[in-house]
Structure formats: C-alpha cells, structure tokens
Amino acid sequence: MGMSYEAIATHITAVGRGLKPPVVALLDGVTFPTNYKISKVSVYLAVKASLAAAPRHEAEEYRQLQTDRCEELLFALQPGIRTGSPPHVSSAVKVLQHQADLQGLSTKDTNPGLQAFQINIHLGNRSEDDD
C-alpha cells in the first residue's frame, strides 16, 4: 500500500543521520546536516511540489494509488457500516469526500452556510401496516 508521510519522514531522518541505508542511492555529494530531521508536513509539501512539476502520467499514477487506498479503507469500514456504527459511517463519508477530491468531482461551495444533506438507510422491508 505504500508508506505514510510520517513513515517516509522517519526513514529520511534515519538516512540523514546515517542510521539506515537509503532506499534509492543518493547522488554524489549529497550530505545531511548533523542531527538532520524532516517532518511529515515537509514530506507532504515536497511530494505535492514534485507532483505539480511531474509529468501528467506520474500524477495520474499517484491519483490512482490514492484512489486504491480509499477503496481499501472503504472495504475495511464495511462491517461497521453494515451494523450502523456512526463512527464507521462518518469515516466512510470522509473517505468518499477525499476520493471525490482526488478525482476532481468536488466543487467549491460558494455559500457554506446553506449546507444540508439527507441520508436514507433502508433497514429492511416495511409493511404498509407499520404506517
């Protein structure tokens, strides 16, 4: 599934301090300052900048990787969603929103004060006598 930004930052920090070998050979002359450390935010910003400069197909591959991760998360949430667990349903909505953002399906809300939505959950057949 890949590494989290935090795991990447931890690994790069260890490489910079000479505690671990790099995954990819470093270019000649690349050195790190004493007690080098990089944060997960810095890793995220570096990845974001790199993707902005990357050819379109590389960005599409990354988008597909993130979409696959979203699918895995949704699959893992399914048992809780089926039982109606509010935290699982809430997490699933967030994953779906992230997935929509990745695919460019989200739009900016020009009036965030007027947000509303409705979720209908069908729990089985209901006879007309229940009305």
Q: Is residue 123 part of a domain?
A: no
- The reply to whether 68 and 46 lie within a common domain is no
pLDDT at 36: 93
What confidence tens digit (pLDDT) does each residue in 8-30 have?
Answer: 999 999 999 999 999 889 899 99
Long-range contacts of 74-80 (CB under 8 A, 24+ apart): none
Q: Is residue 20 part of a domain?
A: yes
- The reply to whether 48 and 72 lie within a common domain is no
Q: Are the beta carbons of 14 and 20 closer than 8 angstroms?
A: yes
* Residue with the larger pLDDT of the pair 92 and 115: 92
**Total domains in the fold of the chain:** 2
What confidence tens digit (pLDDT) does each residue in 99-117 have?
Answer: 888 887 877 666 656 556 6
- The reply to whether 39 and 9 lie within a common domain is yes
**The last residue of a domain, from among 32, 53, 74:** 53
pTM of the model: 0.43
Domain that holds residue 22: 1-53
